[in-house]
Amino acid sequence: MRTDNIYNFKGVFVFAEQVDGKISEISFELLGKAKELAEKLRTDVTAMLLGYKVENLASELARYGADRVITVDDKKLESYMTEPYADAITKIIKRFNPEVVLYGATTIGRDLAPRVSARVFTGLTADCTKLDVDTENHQVLMTRPAFGGNLMATIMCPEYRPQMATVRPGVMQKAEPNDAHKAEVIKFDAELKNNSNYVEIADIIKKEAKRRDIGEANILVSGGRGVGSAENFAMLRELADILGGEVSASRACVDAGWVEKDLQVGQTGKTVRPTLYIAVGISGAIQHLAGMEESGTIIAINKDESAPIFEVADYGIVGDLNTIIPELIKKLRS
Amino acid sequence: MRITVCIKQVPDTNEVKIDSVTGTLIRDGVPSIMNPDDKAGLEAALELRDKYGAEVSVITMGLPQAEEVLREALAMGADKAYLLTDRKLGGADTIATSTALAAAISKIGFDLIITGRQAIDGDTAQVGPQIAEKLNIPNISYAQEIEFDGNDTIRVKRMYEDRYHIINAKLPCLITALGDMNTPRYMTPGGIKSAYETEITVWGRNDIDVDDMQIGLVGSPTKVAKSFPKALKGAGQKTTLDGEEAADYIISALKEKLIIR
Amino acid sequence: MDFLLSPEHMMYQKLFREFAEKEVKPYAVVTDETEEFPRRNVDLMKQYGFMGIPVERELGGQGCDTLAYVLCVEELSKVCATTGVILSAHTSLCCDPIRKFGSSEQKEKYLKPLAKGEKLGAFALTEPSAGTDASSVQTRAVPDGDSFILNGTKIFITNGKEADIYVIFAMTDKSAGARGISAFIVKKGTPGFTFGTKEQKMGIRGSSTYELIFRDCRIPKENMLGQVGRGFNIAMSTLDGGRIGIAAQALGIAEGALASTVKYVKERKQFGRTLAKFQNTQFVLADLATRVEAAKLLVYKAAIAKDTQKTFSTEAAMAKLYASETAMEVTTKCVQLHGGYGYTREYEVERMMRDAKITEIYEGTSEVQRMVISGSLLK
């Protein structure tokens, strides 16, 4: 809502996403960032925990930095559904007047947050990769990629409150858990009532369990167009197995049908931040770099010495992957 | 059934390049295309029409040249096209955009609204749910499949990170389409010819029922403080090596970084 | 006078380009290697209405103009000249004469399914001893009751074995010379109509070039196209239109080779720099691009002339002469810029050079085009 006095709004709020009674990783990442913002804004951190029989999760949110946990416990919130979640969050916002509300840029957060922003009529910045505070003007600076990752934009929401953002998973650091940190728990009755915006969840189908998500792997062996074929990925898989990592890929390989879409790193795939990223036959289009350049150590192997991947690589090797990778596997095995 | 599909003309971001000298975005010569997720949404609408019969309208808000994507949509088979264009609507963020679009869509009339999940220039994924909120109808985001019972209920396979929800929703409602939910059809030559014989309805600010304080730049809660090209991480070492040398080099690097012992 | 495509024509171009890139290009190499007719491409073109672009909607077509059709052949030929000529022969040489000279019954029975792509068309004029000298056809059509009996052989027929409907030319009155030739519509499967050898060609290797054999082949009289003795005029008029299609094919081949080469010279390095940095490369490419542009203007002009002028023989001949010689020069020089790689199957300019040569030969050799042009100059 538009306001003449932004100081009437206090506190950094975080939507603590949980699925099946398990708090999502993004919630802890948000708390880590929220804590940092709250210090700069001289305020505290509140987690909003919605679900059914989830109150026991509040202490876990406290360990990761929540000073306060507002819980809404209702059967209607058991599985995520837009309307009851939007209704509950809107009511919390109207009741507590936070100055900042953060959501994960997940398939839940990116559905919920825009609905809420339209309901309270305030600004929402999507898929932020950086959040900071202009302490002088008491404004949050929300930075996000645009134009397919070619451009970064810093967004502000000067006259409306709360300032809302969805935050890209895997980008913010979660705080070290602190068992001694306790939070005030507030049970909030959102008075949820069925209305025409409710839909029916007829069925829930789990996707088949796959290997570890590339977003969570510490080591990624990533293949690009230069790998040449689906069969050649076996070689990368072998290397990843030796190093205890996972295989990922550039968009070209997904488009070519060599690997599954969920292995894709980059602007239209996943953002990864492993300790080690080995880019094999990846030229390094900007859209790809957007998804991996925050990696700890980057090793790039490419036969084209002018490939942009070398611009971000700590170790760049100009050479033929078809001889280098088998040789590396052989040496690592011995 | 009346289906309205929201489409957007976007620069093909795959063709956007950074000037290596000035570090700025090169927009010259970047082709404009129909946003891919929107195209999938249009295909979904056309498939529903082919199967159950419907009138498919497309709407876009943008500069006058956005007419081109409407023609493309007509050439693919859409029945009617609306262009919402006005200086007063310019500079809108997602909230102000959805306010204007919602007003225009309610003037067109609808049973089902389909938007793309997100546009490749902004990547916000916000306008769909916000339109639904403005119209006070349910929205189902991230649709992988859409079915219709032929009466009043839409059945959507809604994608999450690790699962799908099969959702039944009564019309009217809004769906946001995933780009990979289908393969959009091509236009046909005859479709193109017809598209240029069809009149596009052009609306300005005065044709829709909105509050001036909620549209355009004025009605946008968010402001762009600054934008800048993405800084690249500095390059490290680069050497040309053959297979064995390279393997040794990588192993020493892994040892240096304490990844292997 | 407007040298820019209209927004409508730019939209056609966008469609054909996208279709060619996504659907046709991936199969161009295999089509060339296997010499198999690209049936998949034809089926897709049927699905999207490409088989009847310049045919009226009432006749099952798309109701577009010749320029739209030319843009289609051009874009297809940029990536696969075989597919380009399949469409060109079908549209210009089979749909068009039936559209122009056919009775309303013939249009209903033959043109409609052709324009919808349900049937594929072909055109058969050339014979072993009637190439450039087309009026000396030996195939005879002898009246017999309510039929004609066809005897003779046609060669080098594009879409030969794959077509369903053929426009063929035969002598009904040998004493009348060229005025004794009549045109007929013949269906595949007519008793007495069989196929001879398949040609092993240098280029456009998937286009199903066959010999057609007629032995006491009985054709109903109602299948005569146009009036008796008007066959040669029908053939010449049809070839005027066909030449525009082949000119578009040649233009597409040249553009495809040029684009491929521009990409290559930016990548390939010699003496420590890309080929693009050498002045020879720059100047050669500049000349080729200029020729391509000139060819394009002639081809588009001929397409527009076909729809707006009473006669367009000269325009069509100029377009074909210039575009086909451009295709040959551009592809040859593009191979040269590729060096040794350009002579290998690894790079598409090798195929394009082989494909280009035929455009100087079929539907009137370059020499024939010069005869047509000079003939109208000096008459």
pLDDT at residue C191 in the model? 97
pLDDT at residue B224 in the model? 92
SS3 C120: coil
Q: Provide the chain C residues 216-245 that lie in CB contact (below 8 A) with chain B.
A: none
pLDDT at residue A270 in the model? 86
Nearest neighbour of C15 by CB, restricted to B68, B187, B196 = B187
Residue B148 to residue B150: CA distance in whole angstroms: 5
Q: Between chains, do A126 and B123 touch, taking CB under 8 Å as contact?
A: yes
Task: Please tell me which chains touch C, using 3 or more CB pairs under 8 Å as the contact test.
Answer: B
Between B129 and B257, residue with greater pLDDT: B129
Q: Between chains, do A121 and B221 touch, taking CB under 8 Å as contact?
A: yes
Distances in Å between the alpha carbon of A305 and those of A60, A308, B103, C261, C265? 49, 9, 54, 21, 16
CATH of A214-333, one of 3.40.1050.10, 3.40.50.1220, 3.40.190.10, 3.40.50.920: 3.40.50.1220
* Six token digits for residue A186: 């507030």
- Residue A326 preceded by cis peptide, ω within 30: no
Q: Between chains, do C15 and B71 touch, taking CB under 8 Å as contact?
A: no
ipTM, 2 decimals?
A: 0.94
* Six token digits for residue B145: 């499949």
A161-175 pLDDT tens trace: 999 999 998 788 888
Contact between B115 and B41 (Cβ < 8 Å): yes
Dihedrals φ, ψ of C33, to 5°?
Answer: -70, -45
Nearest CA in chain A to B224: A155
* Residue of B15, B67, B183, B187 to mutate, interface with C, max C Cβ within 10 Å: B187
Same fold, A6-187 and A214-333: yes
Give B191's contacts in chain C (Cβ within 8 Å): 49
B239 interfaces chain A, CB cutoff of 8 Å? yes
Residue B231 to residue A150: CA distance in whole angstroms: 10
* Six token digits for residue A159: 């006259």
Give A251's contacts in chain B (Cβ within 8 Å): none
C159-173 pLDDT tens trace: 999 999 999 999 999
Give A127's contacts in chain B (Cβ within 8 Å): 123-125
The pLDDT-based confidence of C214 (bands split at 50, 70, 90) is: very high
At A155, the amino acid letter reads I
Least confident interval from A265-269, C20-24, C195-199, C282-286: A265-269
Nearest CA in chain C to B195: C8
Residue A18, pLDDT above cutoff 90: yes
Task: Please tell me which chains touch A, using 3 or more CB pairs under 8 Å as the contact test.
Answer: B
Give A323's contacts in chain B (Cβ within 8 Å): 242-243, 246
Residue A293, pLDDT above cutoff 90: no
Residue C77 to residue C83: CA distance in whole angstroms: 7
Give B224's contacts in chain A (Cβ within 8 Å): 153-155
pLDDT at residue C154 in the model? 97
pLDDT at residue C354 in the model? 98
In chain C, % of residues over pLDDT 90: 94
Q: Between chains, do C11 and B71 touch, taking CB under 8 Å as contact?
A: yes
The pLDDT-based confidence of B21 (bands split at 50, 70, 90) is: low
CATH superfamily name and code, A6-187:
HUPs (3.40.50.620)
Nearest CA in chain C to B190: C62
Residue B257, pLDDT above cutoff 80: no
**What is the pairing mode between strands C165-171 and C181-187?**
antiparallel
The answer for residues whose C-beta is within 8 angstroms of residue A263's C-beta and 6 or more apart is A214, A247, A248, A249, A253, A254, A269
B35 interfaces chain A, CB cutoff of 8 Å? no
Contact between C11 and B192 (Cβ < 8 Å): yes
Q: Between chains, do B192 and C19 touch, taking CB under 8 Å as contact?
A: no
Give C41's contacts in chain B (Cβ within 8 Å): none
Q: Between chains, do B98 and A296 touch, taking CB under 8 Å as contact?
A: no
Nearest CA in chain B to C18: B186
Give B71's contacts in chain C (Cβ within 8 Å): 7, 11
Q: In what order do the strands lie in the sheet with A68-73?
A: A124-128, A163-167, A100-104, A12-16, A45-51, A68-73, A184-187
Chain C: closest CA distance from residue B142 (Å): 26
Residue C166 to residue C153: CA distance in whole angstroms: 13
Q: Between chains, do A156 and B223 touch, taking CB under 8 Å as contact?
A: yes
In chain C, % of residues over pLDDT 70: 100
Chain C: closest CA distance from residue B73 (Å): 11
Nearest CA in chain B to A197: B138
Q: Between chains, do B190 and C68 touch, taking CB under 8 Å as contact?
A: no
Q: Which helix (H) or strand (E) holds A130?
A: strand A130-134
Mean pLDDT for all residues in chain B: 92
Q: Which residues of C are catalytic?
A: 363
B63 interfaces chain A, CB cutoff of 8 Å? no
Residue B46 to residue B38: CA distance in whole angstroms: 12
Delineate the domains of chain B, giving CATH numbers in brackets: 2-214 (3.40.50.620)
Q: Between chains, do B242 and A311 touch, taking CB under 8 Å as contact?
A: no
Q: Between chains, do B18 and A286 touch, taking CB under 8 Å as contact?
A: yes
pTM of the model: 0.87
Most trustworthy range by pLDDT among A141-155, B110-124, C65-79: C65-79
In chain B, % of residues over pLDDT 70: 93
Give the domain ranges of chain A: 6-187, 214-333
Distances in Å between the alpha carbon of B79 and those of A118, A178, B2? 30, 60, 10
